[in-house]
A and B are shown apart, each in its own frame.
Chain A
Amino acid sequence: MSQEASAECSALLAHVSAYLDGDLDAAECQTIELHCRNCSRCAALVEGLRETIGLCREAGASGGT
């Protein structure tokens, strides 16, 4: 597992929101997922953002809207 931030990590950071919003195509998603298998920092980032988005949406859903 690489722990040093690389150019691939920077690329992931730039596209992670688009990935989580489902705005990337299958090949781009695969690139991110492959990178996350080998980079625990990026995997944690993606999971953390996914959890954050989930918390916001759950709060919105419970707001009676």
Chain B
Amino acid sequence: VPVTNPENVNLSISETDRESCARLVRASAAGDREAMERLLMRAQEVAYRFGLLVCGHAQDAEDVMQDALLKTYRYVSRIKEPEAFRTWLYTTVRNACLMKRRRHVGEPAHLTSIEQGGSSGDGGTQPVEVEDHARPADQMMIDAWVSGRLRQALIALPPSYRMIVVLREMEGLSTREVAKVAGISEANVKTRLHRARVMLRQALEGV
């Protein structure tokens, strides 16, 4: 039975990418406007994609991306480790997503149906939200990026496990970097990653 490691599959963050981001951070911090523009363009793509998978909503992903871009612009000169820019960016997006999630607590989990929401209880009527059945933009974005089988399996993962898989396997961060972004120990990252892989495998086999 051939058993091989997936070492031949390249991880996403190459040393070149790290170095090129670090150069842009340093040049931006020194006042190079063109470097700042390039850095923000790169950050925009990364922050939106990660935010989309972690937050799960296009509007939230847009908001956290804007927040991350603003912080990049304002605080670029304070980034202590330019080589770790992507880690800093993921942490910023992850924190913004958590804030979003906390704000959403208390909001209704489901839209009220027309049949359920017609009466206000005092004999009058109240406005009814009508669910939009058009395919959401965030779903189309994820569709374009991730294949159907994997997409369904990823969406089924608990959000805290999905974040670990996205950072480690898809964005190519090291275990140490993932631990830093997620705010958990490296041992915990490995445990969650293992469980997530097993869940993904089971889901992929079930599709």
B and A form one assembly? yes
Residues of A within 8 A of B (CB): 16-22, 32-33, 36-37, 40, 43, 45-65
Contact for A22 among B7, B12, B46, CB less than 8 A: B7
B197 adjacent to A49 (CB under 8 Å): yes
Contact of B12 among A19, A45, A49, A65 (CB under 8 A): A65
CA distance A27 to B149 in the complex (A): 35
Main SS class of interface, B: helix
- Cα–Cα, bound, A2→B4 (Å): 21
Total interface residues in chain B, CB < 8 Å: 35
CB contacts (< 8 Å) of A64 on chain B: these are 45
The answer to whether A57 and B201 have CB atoms under 8 Å apart is: no
Question: Is the pair B10, A52 in contact by a Cβ cutoff of 8 Å?
Answer: no
Interface of A is mostly: helix
A40 touches B45 (CB 8 A): no
User: In the bound complex, do residue B11 and residue A36 qualify as a contact, i.e. CB atoms below 8 Å apart?
Assistant: no
Pair A57/B3 contact, Cβ less than 8 Å:
no
Whole-angstrom CA separation of A55 from B149 in the bound complex: 10
The reply to whether A49 and B171 form a contact with Cβ atoms under 8 Å apart is no
